[in-house]
């Protein structure tokens, strides 16, 4: 039996390929592990509560340098000021307001989900924006793939997803909201005015992913932990001239928040369905979610 496709033999040992070396051309990639060998930047920039100074934190052994992080923050709280984009495109997640910055260290202890470090959004005030504009409507008028390792919580305004991507107008607007609270469950909300498609279970720590191709039939497929749990269509009636916002933890259209934890999010500007099992295997071999 051969090696899985995300494993490659290097110098006699089997080394896992970093995810974006195995599945290339991401258009935005944020993670607390290193995703691409050629990426030489830092992982996150952190503000410590003791004196509000900031420091960049990099990687050690392809994961967040937790030693540097806890040394810098000490027994205090540490907040994420910038979550660097590893795609090479420079779409950093940022938050310039202190009280809105998500938490990475709580009283000297790094926040975790499962067995790995995580960034926590409280659902009442904390959120991050994509600093640079995403390319012309990448998620909604072209093929795309998106995955989130984490979960949303029930804390927040009913209309807010954990990930929110949409324009304010028109009413029949394109949109994508991961982890929107509908009734008592959190779901994927896709294109209000046309169809509400539901990928439920966002409060469970998982790999949540969706793949979309705007061809005839206009289909989006949703998965959780590698299993298909959703497939749906949408009407093809939107404009590409809008300027949507992309926010984590906040839905600016309604000034509403959604709590959650996030360890990794990647957007590809193409349909990566053919790479899905490679992505799933890579994610689960590191996070051990399912």
Partner 1 sequence: MVGYKYNTEQEAIDAVALCNKYYGIPVSEDSVTQTFTDYFYNESIGYYIIYSEELQQVLGNPQEIIIILNKL
Give the number of other Cβ atoms within 10 Å of residue 88's Cβ. Answer: 15
87 binds partner 1 (CB under 8 A): no
Distance (Å, rounded) from C-alpha 223 to C-alpha 276? 10
154 binds partner 1 (CB under 8 A): no
Mention every residue, 6+ apart, whose C-beta is less than 8 A from residue 215: none
CB nearer to partner 1: pick between 126 and 263:
126
Q: What angle do CA 160, 120, 132 make, to 5 degrees?
A: 65
Kind plus residue range of the DSSP H or E element containing 21 = helix 19-22
Among candidates 100, 232, 256, which has minimal Cα distance to 164?
256
Among 4, 157, 226, 232, binds partner 1 (CB under 8 A): 157
> Where does 118-230 have alpha helices with state H?
none
81 binds partner 1 (CB under 8 A): yes
In angstroms, give the least distance from the CB of 81 to partner 1. 5
Which stretch in 18-26, 89-97, 142-150, 282-290 sits in contact with partner 1 by CB under 8 A? 89-97
Q: Is 180 helix (H, G, I), strand (E, B) or coil?
A: strand
51 binds partner 1 (CB under 8 A): yes
User: Which residues lie across from 148 on neighbouring strands?
Assistant: 208, 265
Distance (Å, rounded) from C-alpha 124 to C-alpha 220? 30
CB nearer to partner 1: pick between 156 and 222:
156
Q: Which positions from 124 through 143 interact with partner 1, judged by CB under 8 A?
A: 124-125
CB nearer to partner 1: pick between 10 and 158:
158
229 binds partner 1 (CB under 8 A): no
For residues 42-59, one letter each, b for 16 or more C-beta atoms within 10 angstroms of the residue's C-beta and e for the rest, the string is bbbbbbbbeeeeebbbeb
In angstroms, give the least distance from the CB of 206 to partner 1. 25
58 binds partner 1 (CB under 8 A): no
CB nearer to partner 1: pick between 24 and 50:
50
Among 8, 15, 50, 54, binds partner 1 (CB under 8 A): 54
Among 27, 82, 186, 263, binds partner 1 (CB under 8 A): 82
Kind plus residue range of the DSSP H or E element containing 80 = strand 78-83
159 binds partner 1 (CB under 8 A): yes
Q: How far is CA 209 from CA 158, 170, 222, in A?
A: 22, 27, 6
In angstroms, give the least distance from the CB of 221 to partner 1. 24
254 binds partner 1 (CB under 8 A): yes
Mention every residue, 6+ apart, whose C-beta is less than 8 A from residue 90: 131, 132
Question: Residues binding partner 1: what is the number (CB under 8 A)?
Answer: 25
Q: Which positions from 92 through 121 interact with partner 1, judged by CB under 8 A?
A: 94, 96-101
Instruction: Give residues in contact with partner 1 (CB under 8 A).
Output: 45, 47, 51-54, 81-82, 94, 96-101, 124-125, 157-159, 192, 253-256
């Amino acid at each position: 039996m051969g090696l899985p496709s995300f494993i490659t033999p290097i110098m006699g040992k089997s080394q896992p390929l970093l995810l974006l070396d195995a599945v290339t051309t991401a258009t935005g990639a944020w993670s607390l592990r290193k995703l691409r060998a050629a990426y030489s930047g830092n992982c996150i920039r952190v503000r410590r509560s003791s004196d509000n100074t900031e420091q960049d934190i990099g990687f050690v052994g392809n994961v967040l340098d937790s030693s540097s992080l806890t040394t810098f923050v000490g027994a205090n709280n540490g907040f994420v000021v910038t979550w660097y984009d590893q795609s090479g495109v420079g779409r950093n997640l940022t938050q310039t307001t202190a009280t809105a910055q998500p938490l990475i260290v709580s009283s000297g202890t790094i926040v975790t989900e499962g067995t790995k470090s995580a960034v926590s959004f409280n659902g009442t005030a904390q959120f991050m924006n994509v600093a640079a504009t995403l390319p012309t409507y990448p998620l909604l008028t072209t093929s795309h793939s998106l995955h989130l390792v984490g979960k949303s919580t029930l804390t927040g305004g009913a209309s807010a997803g954990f990930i929110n991507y949409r324009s304010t107008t028109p009413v029949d607007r394109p949109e994508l909201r991961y982890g929107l609270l509908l009734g008592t469950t959190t779901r994927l909300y896709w294109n209000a005015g046309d169809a509400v498609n539901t990928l439920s279970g966002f409060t469970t720590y998982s790999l949540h992913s969706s793949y979309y191709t705007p061809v005839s039939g206009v289909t989006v497929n949703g998965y959780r932990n590698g299993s298909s749990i959703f497939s749906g269509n949408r009407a093809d009636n939107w404009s590409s001239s809008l300027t949507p916002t992309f926010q984590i933890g906040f839905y600016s259209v309604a000034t509403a928040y959604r709590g959650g934890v996030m360890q990794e999010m990647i957007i590809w500007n193409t349909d990566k369905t053919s790479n899905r099992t490679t992505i799933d295997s890579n994610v689960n071999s590191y996070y051990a979610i399912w």
